[in-house]
Structure 1
Amino acid sequence: MFVLLPPSETKRSGGGFVPLALDSLAFPALTGRRSVLAGALAALAADQDATVRALKLGRTQLAEIDRNAALLSSPTTPVIDRYTGVLYDALAADTLSPAARTFAGSHLLVHSALLGPVGGLDLVPAYRLSHDSRLPGLPLKKHWAADVSAALEASAFDGSGGLLLDLRSEGYVSLGPAAEHPRRFFLRVVTEGADGRTRALNHFNKKAKGEFTRALLQNSQAFDSVDELLAWAPTAGFTLRPGAEGELELVVAGHL
């Protein structure tokens, strides 16, 4: 089973590990594309104006340029400890049990715009690059989509069974769609109004995804089928149900 998360634009600084080693990351078939993009992003940082345009930075975000300039030499930290923001605050990786962190190393993936999908405990630097960034001569969809899709398919559906739960936002799905497969499910966070109608959530969906992922990690069970997952969810306090074909709905109360 793999749980595939989006990244966050906000990240913690620093880290206690050696600089980025691209060949140490999950999905080694992506190493070449990672190298090209990391080199281009670090080089772009030499031109402040070009970087501001490419990354759509505001005046208070210029420190992100220094992060990018040093991304190949700055210290690293595990993926689940690097990202911040609503989803990752709810995940609260620093309070996970040792067993849950070990499980994250094998079963949690985060789709970085810079590095493609990486493992939960892979070591990464602080950087700034989003799915909608516009690097000169390197359109991210063209750079990533085909190879990321192939890597996900080869890893998740290699005959070993298990599920691929895709919790990414649409922007990151576009950088590497997961192929339709009986064991691939896209998770949508929804709520039900007093009128009985189901509505998708926007901001609050991040918190729900973080809480759900945390529970999966703490449970540390690699579900082989969606029926097993659906049976477990209420025992952990979640309402999870089938949605449209290839989708699951995580039902959250309120927030209308």
Structure 2
Amino acid sequence: MLVLLPPSEGKASSGRGAPLKPESLSLPGLADARAAVLDELVELCVADEEKACEVLGLSEGLRGEVAKNTELRTAGARPAGEIYTGVLYDALGLSSLDAAAKRRAARSLLVFSGLWGAVRVTDRIPSYRCSMGVRLPGLGALGGHWRTAMASVLPEVAGGGLVLDLRSSAYAAAWKPKGEIAGRTAGVRVLHAPTRKVVSHFNKATKGRIVRALLSAGVAPKGPAELVEALRDLGYVVEVEAPARAGRAWSLDVLVDEIH
């Protein structure tokens, strides 16, 4: 099972660990694309704070994020699972998983990123600010920048099992499973059952709980149909929209009564 996650806007501080070693990151086939984004992002933030704020979409209160980006090569690095915070990651609670579930998380979770492309939760990275929706002056839209590199790397990473896609649309733009892989890919929406509407905070928290439950139970569905069974066994109410033809991803709606 491969679980595709979005990052979080908010991130923990880098801390005092050893600095980034780009060559140590997973998915080495993304190295050149990572270097291109890192070089331009650091150069932009060092050269022109005002322009950097504009490009990164930062409000006045987030101006300090530019300074953070100027130190990406020298700042301390921590496991990505500690850097990413926010609603989904709080609900996932990586640090409180038991040892076996942590090993499953290390193998199964892949976090998409405007700066790194995609990283494992064990990859050591510094805190940064650069969403997939950013358009850098030189490289252009990051979703488009990552697409070619991802297309060559991700099919092998996906292996032969389920791909559980929990990314937001901006991060989904960087890689869209195709063909046989798409046929064993499932996207999930979380709906408030009484209204049948997506509520952002509630949606993210429930997705985090779903991933935690799968990891804790040691469940490794081989495809979307097995995922539906596993989620129902874990107590979730799931509605299924199976694809009309082969080579299309499945869509699952998880219905939850309470928003919390």
TM-score by length of 1: 0.90
Give the match for residue 25 of structure 1: 25
Tell me the secondary structure at the aligned position of residue 167 of structure 2: coil
User: What is the 5 A alignment of 1:56-205?
Assistant: 56-139=57-140, 140-157=142-159, 161-180=160-179, 181-193=182-194, 198-205=196-203
Is the 2:185–2:223 contact (alpha carbons within 8 Å) kept by the matching residues of 1? no
Shift of 1:170: 0.5
Between the two proteins, what is the percent identity of the paired residues?
37
Amino acid at match of 2:155: E
Distance in 1, matches of 2:241 and 2:223, equals: 16
Is the 1:105–1:122 contact (alpha carbons within 8 Å) kept by the matching residues of 2? no
Distance in 2, matches of 1:226 and 1:56, equals: 37
Q: Deviations over 1:53-80 (max 9, x none)?
A: 1111111112111210111111111111
Q: 4+ runs of 1 displaced by more than 4 Å?
A: none
In the alignment, structure 2 segments of 5+ residues that lack a partner are 244-249
Is the 2:185–2:224 contact (alpha carbons within 8 Å) kept by the matching residues of 1? no
Distance in 2, matches of 1:59 and 1:38, equals: 23
Give the match for residue 238 of structure 2: 240
Count of aligned residue pairs for this structure pair: 249
Aligned mate of 2:254, from 242, 250, 255:
250
Shift of 1:105: 0.9
- When the two chains are superposed, the root-mean-square deviation of aligned CA atoms in Å is 1.8
In the alignment, structure 1 segments of 5+ residues that lack a partner are none
Is the 1:162–1:224 contact (alpha carbons within 8 Å) kept by the matching residues of 2? yes
Q: Deviations over 1:86-118 (max 9, x none)?
A: 111111222121222111111110001100111
Distance in 1, matches of 2:237 and 2:81, equals: 25
Tell me the secondary structure at the aligned position of residue 200 of structure 1: coil
Distance in 2, matches of 1:146 and 1:253, equals: 41
Tell me the secondary structure at the aligned position of residue 135 of structure 2: coil
